[in-house]
């Protein structure tokens, strides 16, 4: 059984059809890349799965439960973690406190004592290489460190599925390398990932399957080698010759 099933999902913002009858499934342990030019509906898709937006029609099923329309905190507790496209951290909190929120409230139905949550938060910071900056206020990090902190916040919650919205966007080559290393390690651990990125090479390397969106529709789906050479994908990215 698939871990995540998206069934005929549509979203319209007044006159704009952001998603049109999108459907796909993600198996446990799979890494699915989602690509597409700006405005193709990638982030809208993530927002609906995570509960930040209601769909106009269609359903999202996670681990056999329909989660469409549930509030974001319930979806997070079901086991879906997320990192946003533009990093959003809590500016008055330290790095450790930011991650502690994920550990204390995230993807679990049982209540975790604060002391144990703190241990998990420290472990998540170690995973992304930020353990040395635990006490530093979150706004004092570089963009690359902030992206890593976002990943730590999501990982601390022990999700079954992690939605990553352009985790390496706007980063220096060294920071991109650090982010990709963390994601590779999560792939080895068997975590299920849904990854949006413009870098076709990075997505192709990490994902076992790619879904290409354009104007809210799926235009190609399959192994990275096939999708990145698909004529409709090339047309969407490069335009007509």
Partner 1 sequence: MRAGWVLFGCAAAVALLPWSPYHLSLLTMVLLLALLAASWHLLALGGQLSFGHAAFFGVGAYASALLASRGGLGVWAALPGGAISAAAVALPVGALSLHLRGPYFSLATFAAAEILRVLATNWTPLTGGAWGLVGLPPLPARGSLLAAGGIGAILLVHVFLGQSRWGLALAAIRQQQERAEGLGVPSRPLLLAALVTSAAFAGFSGALYAHHVRSLEPATAFSLLFSILPLIMALFGGTASPAGPLLGAGILYFLDELFLQPRFPAAHQLLYAGAILLVLLTMPEGLLGFARRRGGRRGAP
Cβ distance to partner 1 smaller for residue 153 or 202: 153
User: Contact letters (x/-) for partner 1, 116-135, by CB under 8 A?
Assistant: -x------------------
Does the protein bind partner 1 through residue 50 (CB under 8 A)? yes
Does the protein bind partner 1 through residue 104 (CB under 8 A)? yes
Token pair for 24: 């796909």
Strands 31-35 and 209-214: parallel
Strands (E), the chain: 4-13, 16-26, 31-35, 57-62, 65-66, 80-83, 161-165, 192-196, 209-214, 217-222
Q: How far apart are CA 21 and CA 12, in angstroms?
A: 11
In the Cβ-directed half-sphere of 196, how many Cα atoms lie within 13 Å?
23
User: Contact letters (x/-) for partner 1, 134-163, by CB under 8 A?
Assistant: -------------------xx--x------
The single residue among 4, 100, 176, 183 that binds partner 1, judged by CB under 8 A, is: 100
> Quick one: which segment of 97-105, 173-181, 215-223, 228-236 binds partner 1 (CB under 8 A)?
97-105
Does the protein bind partner 1 through residue 41 (CB under 8 A)? no
Does the protein bind partner 1 through residue 106 (CB under 8 A)? yes
Cβ atoms of 154 and 185 closer than 8 Å:
no
51 sits in the region (left: phi over 0; alpha: psi -120 to 50; else beta) called left
Task: Count the residues of the shown chain that bind partner 1, applying the rule CB under 8 A.
Answer: 29
Question: Rounded to the nearest whole angstrom, what is the least distance from the CB of residue 76 to partner 1 in the complex?
Answer: 4
Question: Rounded to the nearest whole angstrom, what is the least distance from the CB of residue 230 to partner 1 in the complex?
Answer: 32
Which has the closest alpha carbon to 188: 199, 198, 180?
180
Q: How far apart are CA 188 and CA 182, in angstroms?
A: 10
Cβ atoms of 46 and 82 closer than 8 Å:
yes
The single residue among 8, 27, 65, 73 that binds partner 1, judged by CB under 8 A, is: 73
Does the protein bind partner 1 through residue 114 (CB under 8 A)? yes
Does the protein bind partner 1 through residue 97 (CB under 8 A)? yes
Question: Rounded to the nearest whole angstrom, what is the least distance from the CB of residue 162 to partner 1 in the complex?
Answer: 12
Token pair for 234: 């090339």
Cβ distance to partner 1 smaller for residue 50 or 218: 50
Cβ distance to partner 1 smaller for residue 11 or 20: 11
Q: How far apart are CA 5 and CA 144, in angstroms?
A: 32
Residues that bind partner 1 (CB under 8 A): 50, 52, 71-74, 76-77, 82, 84, 88-93, 97, 100-102, 104-107, 114, 117, 153-154, 157
């Amino acid at each position: 059984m698939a871990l995540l099933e998206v069934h005929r999902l549509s979203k319209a913002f007044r006159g704009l059809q952001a998603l049109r009858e999108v459907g796909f499934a993600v198996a446990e342990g799979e890494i699915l890349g989602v690509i597409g030019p700006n405005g193709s509906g990638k982030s809208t898709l993530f927002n609906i799965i995570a509960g930040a937006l209601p769909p106009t029609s269609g359903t999202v099923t996670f681990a056999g439960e329909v989660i469409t329309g549930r509030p974001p905190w319930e979806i997070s507790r079901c086991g879906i973690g997320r990192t946003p496209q533009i990093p959003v951290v809590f500016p008055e909190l330290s790095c450790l406190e930011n991650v502690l929120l994920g550990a204390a409230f995230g993807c679990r139905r049982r209540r975790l004592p604060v002391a144990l949550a703190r241990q998990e938060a420290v472990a998540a910071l170690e995973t992304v290489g930020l353990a040395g900056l635990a006490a530093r206020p979150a706004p004092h990090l570089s963009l690359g460190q902030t992206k890593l902190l976002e990943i730590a916040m999501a990982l601390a919650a022990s999700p079954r599925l992690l939605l990553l919205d352009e985790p390496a966007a706007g980063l220096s080559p060294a920071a991109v390398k650090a982010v990709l290393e963390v994601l590779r390690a999560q792939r080895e651990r068997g975590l299920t990932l849904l990854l949006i990125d413009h870098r076709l090479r990075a997505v192709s390397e990490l994902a076992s399957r790619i879904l290409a969106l354009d104007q809210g529709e799926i235009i190609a789906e399959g192994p990275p080698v096939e999708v990145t050479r698909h004529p409709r994908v090339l047309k969407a990215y490069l335009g007509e010759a």
